[in-house]
Amino acid sequence: MKGYDVAIVGATGLVGQEFIKVLEQRNFPMNSIRLLASDRSAGRKLRVNGEEVEVKETSIDSFENVEVALFSAGAEISNYFAPIAARAGAVVVDNSAAFRMDTQVPLVVPEVNPADIKEHKGIIANPNCSTIQMVVALYPLHQVNPIKRVIVDTYQSVSGTGSAALEELSEQARLVLEGRSVVPHVYPHQIAFNLLPEIDVFLDNAYTKEEWKCVEETRKIMHANEIAISATCVRVPIFVSHSEAIHIEFSQPMSPDTARRTLAEAPGIKVLDDPNISLYPQPWSVAGSDEVFVGRIRQDASHSCGLVMWVVADNLRKGAALNAVQIAETMVDRGWI
């Protein structure tokens, strides 16, 4: 198989390091790998396939001869460097929000809309972490029984904010257990032993930007502008993995057993659902896994055409790095790169 010259922008961050692990574990065909980051991280060395690779500062000359560029450095960096990388000949898979709602940029979850990849013009957007796991679970059901409405409540780990948030949770938990006061820095309030119904900024409609991403991105990925969606996104004191309680209204009634069978046969999903033995997905146990886990599938007592389910996934893997690498793998497998 042909090997590819790969670059990772934001290589020293949580998602950037996850990119390296996923590329290694899935044996992505690479001739070379270029690790890029800010000037603060330049000079660091990271191990890739058993060898030390020096991190270079990202510049306008960083993408010469690069064929696949994986971005995880934030929207500002992506807005500037992604078009430069694309013009240099790389296919960019961008993990930021910079291009997700751009009509000229495909927004892709390979289990849902892989054909959209072919329409790229040099840049492909990786969706928001909470959106990815939701559409992986919704789409197989939508194919057999069109969805009319979704209400989702998310319980999102602090790793979605970055390494500083992980450190803040650890430090705050220690201080609280010692009976000492806490001064928040990353979040507007204490996160240890607390819940914050505020992820990203508040919009004029009183939803947060994170909540609105769930609405707009889901419709774009599933090509289903008619689905009514409402979201409440909550930051919880968990290190890794996002959880979601999803309430679905279908066009026709659907039994929980039918939903379980449909999801069990769908790609990228693992069903854990036996209340008799307290079997259901948990953020702690799914961390490090590739699949989207679904459980607590039950009839919605408030609607005859409704189901409720509990969905959990590792936000750094399927919610970010893995999904991006799967996009690159799809291009390789289908000869689109």
Q: What is the pLDDT of residue 253?
A: 98
Do 123 and 239 share a domain, yes or no? no
What does the pLDDT look like over 186-234, one tens digit per residue?
999 999 999 999 999 999 999 999 999 999 999 999 999 999 999 999 9
The reply to whether the predicted model has a pTM over 0.85 is yes
Question: What total number of domains does the chain contain?
Answer: 2
| pLDDT, average across residues 23-34 | 96
Do 14 and 61 share a domain, yes or no? yes
What does the pLDDT look like over 223-269, one tens digit per residue?
999 999 999 999 999 999 999 999 999 999 999 999 999 999 999 99
Do 239 and 100 share a domain, yes or no? no
Rounded CA separation 176/287 (Å): 25
Rounded CA separation 4/325 (Å): 13
What does the pLDDT look like over 258-278, one tens digit per residue?
999 999 999 999 999 999 999
Residue 271 burial (CB count, 10 A): 22
Helix axes 129-144, 209-222, angle to 10 degrees: 40
Do 168 and 229 share a domain, yes or no? yes
Residue positions counted in the chain: 337
Residue 1 pLDDT greater than 80, yes or no: no
Q: Provide DSSP, 275-304.
A: GGGTB---HHHHTT--SEEEEEEEE-TT-T
What does the pLDDT look like over 278-326, one tens digit per residue?
999 999 999 999 999 999 999 999 999 999 999 999 999 999 999 999 9
Do 186 and 324 share a domain, yes or no? no
Could you tell me how many helices (H) and strands (E) the chain has, helices first?
Answer: 8, 14
**Closest among 84, 90, 86, 124 to 104, alpha carbons compared:** 124
| pLDDT, average across residues 332-337 | 93
| pLDDT, average across residues 317-336 | 97
H or E segment at 174?
A: helix 163-177
What rounded mean pLDDT belongs to the chain?
Answer: 97
Do 139 and 121 share a domain, yes or no? no
> Which residues span the domain enclosing 181?
131-314
Do 224 and 175 share a domain, yes or no? yes
Are the C-beta atoms of residues 170 and 157 closer than 8 Å to each other?
no
What does the pLDDT look like over 65-103, one tens digit per residue?
999 999 999 999 999 999 999 999 999 999 999 999 999
What CATH number has the domain bearing residue 123? Answer: 3.40.50.720
Do 164 and 255 share a domain, yes or no? yes
Q: What is the pLDDT of residue 337?
A: 87
Do 329 and 200 share a domain, yes or no? no
Do 146 and 283 share a domain, yes or no? yes
Residue 327 pLDDT greater than 80, yes or no: yes
What CATH number has the domain bearing residue 182? Answer: 3.30.360.10
Do 94 and 219 share a domain, yes or no? no
Beta strand pairing status for 292-299 and 269-271? parallel
First vs last Cα of the chain: how many Å apart? 13
Q: What is the pLDDT of residue 2?
A: 84
Active site residues: 129, 242
| pLDDT, average across residues 21-28 | 97
Do 122 and 57 share a domain, yes or no? yes
